[in-house]
A = this chain, B = another copy of it.
Amino acid sequence: MKIYDREGTPNAARIRIVLAEKGLEDQIEFVSVDLIRAEQKQPAFLAMNPIGKIPVLELDDGTVISESTAITEYLDNLDGNPTLTGKTPREKGLIHMMQRRVEMMVLEAIDDYFHYGTPGLGKALRPWRMPDWSGAKEWGERRGAQAVQNMPYFNDILAKKPFVAGDAFSLADISLWAALAFADAIGLPIAPELTALAAWRSKVSDIPAVKNRSGQAILPEDLARFGA
């Protein structure tokens, strides 16, 4: 199998954590996508994923699977023991609910802030950032504010439960961990009063599959290189 991604970005981190957690890393050939040159917006990449975002999984028969949730569903079910996406109907429902809440309330908002409210990944991507619209930057800034506003919701959840979707580490934790690493790197840190969220992040950062990724989370100097 091949993964088309770019180390150090939040969605690449999500899938690399899944691969490590499921013991599948050695079955993957990683193909680096040149985000700075907007390779993900060119015809060859768009033929795999019309949304123009990494990561993309390509199976040995050429089948392509994009979208982090979909790739995780595939990888997590390969061994018949879906620990990250849920075994019972109730687990599946709650994990998918919380993972989607993470995306809608935090991860997508942070991503919009990065791409529209800041210089984002630099010059080559500008044509895909609504350059014909003067309101785009304010919209991006509003999305960043929404992400910050929504962080306390997850703090409250994690003050009562050990993990985002309940008692066990799941896809929902991976999404939130990647979202917060991204937020931190682009200047939207966890507010000091959100102690349960910070404690959960520290705990998740110690899980072996995540620990191996921590050093690869987006760092400000990495972003600076991107924007160069």
| A interface residues with partner B (beta carbon < 8 Å) | 50-51, 57, 59, 63, 65-67, 69-71, 73-75, 77-78, 86, 88-90, 92-97, 100-101, 104-105, 130, 133, 135, 138-139, 142, 150, 153
Contacts and interface: CB of A to CB of B under 8 A. Distances in A.
Contact of A97 (B65, B96, B150): B65
A150 B46 CA distance: 13
Contacts of A69: 96, 100
B138 A67 contact: no
The A contact surface, by secondary structure, is: helix
What are the 5 closest A-B residue pairs judged by CB atoms, nearest first? A74-B93, A135-B135, A70-B96, A70-B97, A77-B89
Contacts of A90: 59, 63, 74
A153 B66 CA distance: 15
A93 B64 CA distance: 9
A203 B139 CA distance: 39
Nearest to A134: B135
B67 A89 contact: no
Given A65-B97, A70-B93, 9 more contacts: A50-B101, A66-B97, A66-B101, A67-B96, A69-B100, A71-B93, A73-B92, A74-B90, A74-B92
Nearest to A104: B51
5 contacts: A50-B105, A73-B93, A73-B96, A75-B89, A135-B135
A90 B73 CA distance: 9
Given A51-B101, A89-B74, A94 B67 contact: no
